[in-house]
Amino acid sequence: MPAPFAPQDQPFAPNSLDLIQAFVLVRHGERTPVRHRLTKHIPETWNLCHEGRAFDAAVLELSPEGKQGRDELGVFRRLERLDGKLGARGDCLLGELTDVGRRSTLEVGRMIRALYIDQLGLVPSTLSESSLPQLYFRSTNMPRTVESLQQLMTGLYPRPFRAEGIRPDVLTRDGMDETLLPNTMGCRRLGVLWAEFAKAAAKKYNPTLHRLDEKLSLYLDGEPVRIDGRPRANGILDTVRAAQAHGIPVPSVFADPAVQETLEKAVTHEWFDGYTSPEFRRISLGPLLASLSGRLSEMVGKGKGPKLGIMATHDTTLAGVLACLDVFNNRWPDFTAHIALELFRPASDSAAPSSSSSLTSWFRRSQSTSHYVRLRYQSRPLTLPACAADGDHLPGFPEFCTLEAFQRAVQKVTPRDWTEECRVSGGSSE
């Protein structure tokens, strides 16, 4: 069940503030494991992928006269095994968004609609050509995130609220240009740093896993549990939690909260200790935060840009963004976990003064201290350390950063030249 999206047991925001822009980062929905692990104890194939199998594929067609045109071809995708045998209808591929994941991301989309459209009226209630410029939909170029985004969009705009024939853009990037995740493909230096930090984490935290060997090695063909083992500790935890998210039974020892806590602590350090390094922050999620910060400036300075953006991402994206801003809770993000980045202005700033001197003062103020930014994770407002000082947040509400303070924090993790800094010959990990 997805976490709530709207703030719980409190007003959305002080009455003195109006929401004018929001970006939501959502981890994809529940999926199958990305590799076969623990297959003697957890089913190797999951028959949980029925809804995403029938397609009307867009194809090129030629008329009898040879004129090129567009047609649709109905297809049904099925799994073929290594031995050539067909899987049952609905059998999932590795790492595939399941029907459970489709339902949960649909529900998150519905919750986003309930808050931002039904309650606050941030964007129009109906998806039409006129509303498209106010919306931004983007995903990493992976089937499970693209399909999660499509489910989020369906929850945001159910069929009765979509104009006939409307086709909103779903944006993806080439792998080398991707900023919606820590991009080790496009940034070789990041891959080097990541390996260094993973090696250091294995040395430091493998001893904490020794006490699990007696319990878990029985299920791992006698192998010990290690960050850099075979299978790796993070793979074990991922497989177990994916199974639990679908109600698939796992051996009781893997369901033990104390065992999972020990595994989670070790693998969280493996994957995210790199964010203690300023260089790592800059070349991993710094470009994404810089892009979002730029969109906030565009809205404040020019009144342009989308009012609502939804991006389908990954666990490493959410944890990385939180770590860059010093609010990561050292817990692995759940399926459909979400971050909301929200821009506010005082309600009294809806109109500018008439005199030229007052207008200049108002404009300067409206671009910095009179606009506020809030970050919410799993519906809970976060208090950023960068905004703790007096004058850097709304008085009495430390979770509302001034735009200026938020952008100073982002500037610290923004690369000067990402391409140059990503060269393997880059500097130390600081």
Q: In terms of Cα–Cα distance, which of 428, 430, 416, 415 is closest to 182?
A: 415
Other Cβ atoms within 10 Å of 51 Cβ, number: 15
* Three-state secondary structure string covering 36-102: CCCCCCCCCCCCCCCCCCEEEEEEEEECCCCCEEEEEEEEECCCECCCCCECCCCCCCCCCECHHHH
What is the spatial distance between Cα 239 and Cα 244, in angstroms, rounded to a whole number?
9
Among residues 18, 213, 256, 315, the one annotated as catalytic is 315
Among residues 28, 269, 314, 393, the one annotated as catalytic is 28
Query: Hey, which bits of 290-383 come out as E strands?
Result: 308-313, 338-346, 372-377, 380-382
**85 DSSP assignment:** P
Active site residue 28: yes
DSSP annotation string for 122-147? -S-SSB-TTTGGGEEEEE-SSHHHHH
**347 DSSP assignment:** G
Active site residue 338: no
DSSP helix/strand/coil, 97:
strand
**Cβ neighbours of residue 294 under 8 Å, at least 6 residues apart?**
none
**Cβ neighbours of residue 9 under 8 Å, at least 6 residues apart?**
none
Answer left, alpha or beta for residue 305, where phi above 0 means left and psi between -120 and 50 means alpha. left
Residue carrying structure tokens 């595939």: 96
Measured over the CA atoms of residue 208, residue 214, residue 219 and residue 221, the dihedral's sign is positive
Q: For strand 380-382 and strand 372-377, is the pairing parallel, antiparallel, or unpaired?
A: antiparallel
Structure tokens given for 332: 């692995």
As a whole number of Å, the end-to-end CA separation of the chain is: 40
Structure tokens given for 123: 């964007």
Q: For the CA atoms of the chain, what is the radius of gyration? A: 24
Residues in the chain: 430
Catalytic positions, written as ranges: 28, 315
